[in-house]
Amino acid sequence: MKTIAKYIPAAALGTLLLIGGTNKASAAVIYSQTFTGGTGALVGATVTTGDGTWAGDGILNRNGLLEGGWGAASLAFTPTSGFVYELTATISSQYWGSWIGVGFLPDNSLYGWAPNNPIALRTATGWQVYPQAVNASSLISNNVTIILDTTLANWTTSIYQAGTQIGSTYTYTGTNPTITRVGFVSDGSGGQVDAFQLTAVPEPSTYAMVLGGLLNLSLIRRRRVQA
């Protein structure tokens, strides 16, 4: 091990250490939004972290306040096979009959979501999640996490509030969901969004490919040094 490490550049060693860490340490942030931008519409704003601009309807302002009405505000996103995507958000809703949701959307239309897509709707009393079609029996937290696992041929999704799973893990059969956007949908007013982040973690085989490439580079460098 010491002999190989001698010929691996410092940057490669850093990558190996990253790969050897936890999934959290190796997760790549795709999008992250900080809701401290004022009372202007979120639509048209550049996302805080990542390369994208919010598009859709004026349902949220840049402070995360639900402005009322119904529609969608989202970012362009199409998942790739071989990753585990984690979408997290902090959402509150105060008015009965109103809701605001976050999820992986098929498009950016008025509602922007379909029951077949992974999404969590925050109502005044709890969470409704799809495609499981489960209504959480009690509200534990305003923090929600949606996991979309594309590492197998049949994708899976699971949804949690504060680490407690809502319903069961759902496995798609036949056809995986159509996803072109990620973000928010709403119907009503009286809600607030305080956090939003999308990350991705490659499957273990991807790590193995990266490690193999780094080792090949180290062997090439070693041969050059010995020559």
Tens digit of each residue's pLDDT (9 = 90 or more) over 123-161: 988 999 999 999 987 888 999 999 999 999 999 999 999
Q: Give the mean pLDDT of 72-84.
A: 97
Phi and psi torsions of 77, nearest 5° = -165, 130
Residue with the bigger pLDDT between 215 and 119: it is 119
* pLDDT > 50? residue 99: yes
Q: Which range has the worst mean pLDDT, 13-17, 56-60, 198-202, 211-215?
A: 13-17
* pLDDT > 50? residue 1: no
Domain 27-203 fold: Jelly Rolls (2.60.120)
State the pLDDT at residue 221: 55
* pLDDT > 90? residue 98: no
Q: Is the pTM of this model over 0.85?
A: no
